[in-house]
Amino acid sequence: MEAAKATKLVEALVVGSNALVDIARTAFRNKKSLSTGFYADRFHDEVVKLTKVENLIVPTIQAISGFAPAPLLGHLVTVKSTSLAISDRDTARKQITLICETQVLPNISNLGTPTQPSSEPVLAATVLGPKAPTYLQRTVLQANGCYEKRWFDASSVMIRKLVENLIIDVYENHSKQSEIQQGGDYFMLSGLITAILGQNHWPLQRETKKSLPDIKKLGDRAAHNRRYEANRQDIDQLLGGLRATVDDLLHLAGHK
Protein backbone atom coordinates (compact mmCIF):
# COMPACT_ATOMS: atom_id res chain seq x y z
CA MET A 1 0.00 0.00 0.00
CA GLU A 2 1.29 3.48 -0.84
CA ALA A 3 2.41 5.55 2.14
CA ALA A 4 0.04 8.42 1.33
CA LYS A 5 -3.00 6.14 1.25
CA ALA A 6 -1.91 4.34 4.43
CA THR A 7 -1.48 7.68 6.20
CA LYS A 8 -5.01 8.77 5.29
CA LEU A 9 -6.46 5.49 6.52
CA VAL A 10 -4.62 5.65 9.83
CA GLU A 11 -5.83 9.22 10.32
CA ALA A 12 -9.35 8.00 9.50
CA LEU A 13 -9.11 5.53 12.39
CA VAL A 14 -8.58 8.43 14.75
CA VAL A 15 -11.35 10.54 13.20
CA GLY A 16 -13.80 7.63 13.22
CA SER A 17 -13.03 6.79 16.84
CA ASN A 18 -13.57 10.40 17.90
CA ALA A 19 -16.87 10.51 16.03
CA LEU A 20 -18.17 7.38 17.78
CA VAL A 21 -17.25 8.68 21.22
CA ASP A 22 -18.87 12.05 20.48
CA ILE A 23 -22.13 10.37 19.41
CA ALA A 24 -22.12 8.11 22.47
CA ARG A 25 -21.46 11.07 24.78
CA THR A 26 -24.29 13.10 23.25
CA ALA A 27 -26.68 10.16 23.48
CA PHE A 28 -25.75 9.62 27.13
CA ARG A 29 -26.24 13.30 27.92
CA ASN A 30 -29.70 13.16 26.35
CA LYS A 31 -30.48 9.83 28.01
CA LYS A 32 -30.88 8.08 24.66
CA SER A 33 -29.99 4.53 23.69
CA LEU A 34 -27.34 3.37 21.24
CA SER A 35 -29.40 0.29 20.48
CA THR A 36 -32.47 1.90 18.90
CA GLY A 37 -33.48 5.33 17.73
CA PHE A 38 -31.82 8.37 16.14
CA TYR A 39 -28.48 8.14 17.94
CA ALA A 40 -28.32 4.40 17.41
CA ASP A 41 -28.65 4.90 13.66
CA ARG A 42 -25.91 7.55 13.62
CA PHE A 43 -23.68 5.36 15.76
CA HIS A 44 -24.24 2.37 13.49
CA ASP A 45 -23.36 4.39 10.39
CA GLU A 46 -20.07 5.49 11.96
CA VAL A 47 -19.30 1.91 13.04
CA VAL A 48 -19.76 0.76 9.45
CA LYS A 49 -17.41 3.49 8.17
CA LEU A 50 -14.78 2.75 10.82
CA THR A 51 -14.96 -0.99 10.15
CA LYS A 52 -14.37 -0.42 6.45
CA VAL A 53 -11.26 1.61 7.28
CA GLU A 54 -10.05 -1.12 9.65
CA ASN A 55 -10.44 -3.80 7.00
CA LEU A 56 -8.30 -1.77 4.63
CA ILE A 57 -5.49 -0.66 6.94
CA VAL A 58 -5.12 -3.31 9.68
CA PRO A 59 -3.33 -5.92 7.49
CA THR A 60 -0.81 -3.23 6.57
CA ILE A 61 -0.37 -2.03 10.17
CA GLN A 62 0.29 -5.62 11.24
CA ALA A 63 3.29 -5.65 8.93
CA ILE A 64 5.14 -3.01 10.98
CA SER A 65 8.24 -4.66 12.39
CA GLY A 66 8.08 -4.90 16.18
CA PHE A 67 4.55 -3.47 16.42
CA ALA A 68 1.97 -5.38 18.48
CA PRO A 69 -1.48 -4.57 17.01
CA ALA A 70 -3.56 -6.21 19.76
CA PRO A 71 -3.92 -3.11 22.01
CA LEU A 72 -5.01 -0.93 19.07
CA LEU A 73 -7.53 -3.54 17.92
CA GLY A 74 -8.88 -3.87 21.45
CA HIS A 75 -9.41 -0.12 21.77
CA LEU A 76 -11.23 -0.07 18.43
CA VAL A 77 -13.58 -2.76 19.73
CA THR A 78 -14.25 -0.59 22.79
CA VAL A 79 -15.21 2.57 20.86
CA LYS A 80 -17.54 0.52 18.63
CA SER A 81 -19.36 -1.07 21.57
CA THR A 82 -22.96 0.02 22.23
CA SER A 83 -22.89 -0.80 25.94
CA LEU A 84 -19.67 0.40 27.59
CA ALA A 85 -19.30 3.44 29.85
CA ILE A 86 -18.33 6.82 28.44
CA SER A 87 -15.14 6.80 30.50
CA ASP A 88 -14.06 3.51 28.90
CA ARG A 89 -14.77 4.85 25.43
CA ASP A 90 -12.87 8.06 26.09
CA THR A 91 -9.84 6.16 27.37
CA ALA A 92 -9.91 3.93 24.28
CA ARG A 93 -10.22 6.96 21.98
CA LYS A 94 -7.19 8.59 23.58
CA GLN A 95 -5.18 5.39 23.29
CA ILE A 96 -6.09 4.98 19.61
CA THR A 97 -4.83 8.50 18.96
CA LEU A 98 -1.66 7.90 20.98
CA ILE A 99 -0.82 4.59 19.27
CA CYS A 100 -1.56 5.87 15.78
CA GLU A 101 0.44 9.07 16.21
CA THR A 102 3.44 7.65 18.10
CA GLN A 103 3.77 4.08 16.79
CA VAL A 104 2.00 3.78 13.47
CA LEU A 105 2.36 7.06 11.59
CA PRO A 106 6.13 7.43 12.28
CA ASN A 107 6.61 4.06 10.57
CA ILE A 108 4.22 4.69 7.72
CA SER A 109 6.98 4.77 5.10
CA ASN A 110 7.90 1.21 6.12
CA LEU A 111 4.34 -0.08 5.81
CA GLY A 112 3.41 -2.37 3.01
CA THR A 113 2.13 -5.80 2.17
CA PRO A 114 3.44 -8.05 -0.58
CA THR A 115 1.40 -8.23 -3.75
CA GLN A 116 -1.13 -11.02 -3.45
CA PRO A 117 -0.38 -13.70 -6.06
CA SER A 118 -3.25 -14.75 -8.30
CA SER A 119 -2.73 -18.44 -7.46
CA GLU A 120 -1.37 -20.65 -4.69
CA PRO A 121 0.80 -23.20 -6.51
CA VAL A 122 3.06 -24.07 -3.57
CA LEU A 123 0.70 -24.07 -0.59
CA ALA A 124 -2.81 -22.76 -0.05
CA ALA A 125 -3.02 -20.07 2.62
CA THR A 126 -5.98 -21.94 4.13
CA VAL A 127 -3.64 -24.79 5.08
CA LEU A 128 -2.15 -22.57 7.78
CA GLY A 129 -5.50 -21.70 9.28
CA PRO A 130 -6.47 -18.55 11.22
CA LYS A 131 -4.26 -19.32 14.24
CA ALA A 132 -1.01 -19.29 12.27
CA PRO A 133 1.31 -16.35 13.05
CA THR A 134 1.66 -13.56 10.51
CA TYR A 135 5.29 -14.45 9.77
CA LEU A 136 4.24 -17.90 8.55
CA GLN A 137 1.40 -16.50 6.44
CA ARG A 138 3.73 -14.00 4.78
CA THR A 139 6.32 -16.68 4.06
CA VAL A 140 3.70 -18.81 2.29
CA LEU A 141 2.52 -15.76 0.36
CA GLN A 142 6.09 -15.12 -0.83
CA ALA A 143 6.67 -18.76 -1.73
CA ASN A 144 3.54 -18.71 -3.89
CA GLY A 145 4.35 -15.33 -5.40
CA CYS A 146 7.90 -16.30 -6.32
CA TYR A 147 6.71 -19.54 -7.92
CA GLU A 148 4.08 -17.64 -9.91
CA LYS A 149 6.80 -15.26 -11.17
CA ARG A 150 8.97 -18.28 -12.03
CA TRP A 151 11.56 -17.25 -9.45
CA PHE A 152 12.06 -20.84 -8.38
CA ASP A 153 15.27 -20.31 -6.40
CA ALA A 154 13.52 -17.68 -4.29
CA SER A 155 10.45 -19.88 -3.87
CA SER A 156 12.67 -22.75 -2.72
CA VAL A 157 14.30 -20.54 -0.09
CA MET A 158 10.87 -19.43 1.20
CA ILE A 159 9.81 -23.07 1.50
CA ARG A 160 12.99 -23.74 3.43
CA LYS A 161 12.30 -20.76 5.71
CA LEU A 162 8.72 -21.93 6.34
CA VAL A 163 9.82 -25.38 7.48
CA GLU A 164 12.67 -23.95 9.55
CA ASN A 165 10.32 -21.64 11.45
CA LEU A 166 7.74 -24.37 11.95
CA ILE A 167 10.29 -26.68 13.56
CA ILE A 168 11.36 -23.90 15.92
CA ASP A 169 7.69 -23.22 16.73
CA VAL A 170 7.20 -26.89 17.61
CA TYR A 171 10.02 -26.80 20.15
CA GLU A 172 8.94 -23.44 21.56
CA ASN A 173 5.36 -24.66 21.92
CA HIS A 174 6.58 -27.47 24.16
CA SER A 175 9.19 -25.33 25.97
CA LYS A 176 12.03 -27.49 24.64
CA GLN A 177 13.82 -24.86 22.54
CA SER A 178 17.06 -25.40 24.47
CA GLU A 179 17.37 -28.72 22.62
CA ILE A 180 17.80 -26.90 19.31
CA GLN A 181 20.04 -24.08 20.50
CA GLN A 182 23.73 -23.57 20.94
CA GLY A 183 24.99 -20.51 22.73
CA GLY A 184 21.46 -19.11 22.73
CA ASP A 185 21.17 -19.31 18.92
CA TYR A 186 18.96 -21.74 17.03
CA PHE A 187 20.53 -24.42 14.87
CA MET A 188 20.58 -24.03 11.13
CA LEU A 189 18.02 -26.09 9.24
CA SER A 190 20.27 -29.14 8.99
CA GLY A 191 20.62 -29.21 12.78
CA LEU A 192 16.90 -28.59 13.28
CA ILE A 193 15.95 -31.48 11.03
CA THR A 194 18.49 -33.80 12.66
CA ALA A 195 17.08 -32.87 16.06
CA ILE A 196 13.40 -33.30 15.24
CA LEU A 197 13.96 -36.56 13.38
CA GLY A 198 15.95 -37.93 16.31
CA GLN A 199 13.69 -36.79 19.16
CA ASN A 200 11.14 -39.02 20.88
CA HIS A 201 8.80 -36.32 22.24
CA TRP A 202 6.37 -36.23 19.32
CA PRO A 203 5.40 -38.90 16.79
CA LEU A 204 6.10 -37.37 13.39
CA GLN A 205 4.09 -38.69 10.48
CA ARG A 206 5.92 -41.06 8.14
CA GLU A 207 5.62 -38.64 5.20
CA THR A 208 7.09 -35.83 7.30
CA LYS A 209 10.15 -37.93 8.13
CA LYS A 210 10.61 -38.70 4.45
CA SER A 211 10.06 -35.16 3.17
CA LEU A 212 12.12 -33.07 5.58
CA PRO A 213 15.54 -34.03 4.15
CA ASP A 214 14.32 -33.40 0.58
CA ILE A 215 12.96 -29.96 1.49
CA LYS A 216 16.24 -29.06 3.14
CA LYS A 217 18.27 -30.27 0.16
CA LEU A 218 16.36 -28.12 -2.31
CA GLY A 219 16.49 -25.03 -0.11
CA ASP A 220 20.21 -25.45 0.52
CA ARG A 221 20.97 -25.82 -3.17
CA ALA A 222 18.92 -22.79 -4.13
CA ALA A 223 20.45 -20.63 -1.39
CA HIS A 224 24.09 -21.74 -1.38
CA ASN A 225 25.06 -23.44 -4.67
CA ARG A 226 26.32 -20.77 -7.06
CA ARG A 227 25.72 -22.82 -10.20
CA TYR A 228 22.44 -24.43 -9.23
CA GLU A 229 19.14 -22.95 -10.41
CA ALA A 230 15.93 -24.50 -9.17
CA ASN A 231 13.19 -25.12 -11.70
CA ARG A 232 9.48 -25.83 -11.57
CA GLN A 233 9.95 -29.58 -11.50
CA ASP A 234 12.28 -29.36 -8.49
CA ILE A 235 9.55 -27.72 -6.45
CA ASP A 236 6.63 -29.67 -7.89
CA GLN A 237 8.06 -33.01 -6.85
CA LEU A 238 8.17 -31.79 -3.22
CA LEU A 239 4.67 -30.36 -3.00
CA GLY A 240 2.81 -33.46 -1.85
CA GLY A 241 5.28 -34.11 0.93
CA LEU A 242 5.46 -30.41 1.80
CA ARG A 243 1.71 -30.22 2.29
CA ALA A 244 1.73 -33.17 4.68
CA THR A 245 4.84 -31.93 6.50
CA VAL A 246 3.49 -28.43 7.06
CA ASP A 247 0.19 -29.76 8.36
CA ASP A 248 2.01 -32.13 10.73
CA LEU A 249 4.26 -29.39 12.11
CA LEU A 250 1.39 -26.90 12.41
CA HIS A 251 -0.44 -29.29 14.71
CA LEU A 252 2.65 -29.98 16.79
CA ALA A 253 3.36 -26.26 17.06
CA GLY A 254 -0.14 -25.58 18.35
CA HIS A 255 -1.12 -23.48 15.34
CA LYS A 256 -4.06 -25.78 14.52
Residue 107 binned pLDDT confidence (cut-offs 50, 70, 90): confident
Stated pTM of the model: 0.59
- Mean per-residue pLDDT for 84-109? 91
What pLDDT does residue 23 have? 95
Query: Which letter, b or e, does each residue of 142-167 get, where b requires 16 or more Cβ atoms within 10 Å of its Cβ?
Result: bbbbbbbeeebbbbbbbbbbbbbbbb
What confidence tens digit (pLDDT) does each residue in 2-26 have?
Answer: 778 888 999 999 999 999 999 999 9
What pLDDT does residue 256 have? 86
CA distances from 168 to 67, 171, 180 (A): 22, 5, 8
What pLDDT does residue 227 have? 84
Which H/E stretch holds residue 103? none
What pLDDT does residue 3 have? 77
Residues 6+ apart with CB under 8 A from 113: 1, 59, 60, 63
The answer to whether residues 84 and 21 touch, using CB atoms and an 8 Å cutoff, is no
- Mean per-residue pLDDT for 185-212? 93
What confidence tens digit (pLDDT) does each residue in 125-161 have?
Answer: 899 988 888 889 889 999 999 999 999 989 999 999 9
In angstroms, the CA 174 to CA 203 distance is 14
Residues 6+ apart with CB under 8 A from 39: 23, 26, 27, 30, 32, 33
Looking at the predicted structure, is the pLDDT value of residue 111 above 70?
no
- Mean per-residue pLDDT for 73-93? 94
In angstroms, the CA 213 to CA 215 distance is 6
% pLDDT > 90, the chain: 70
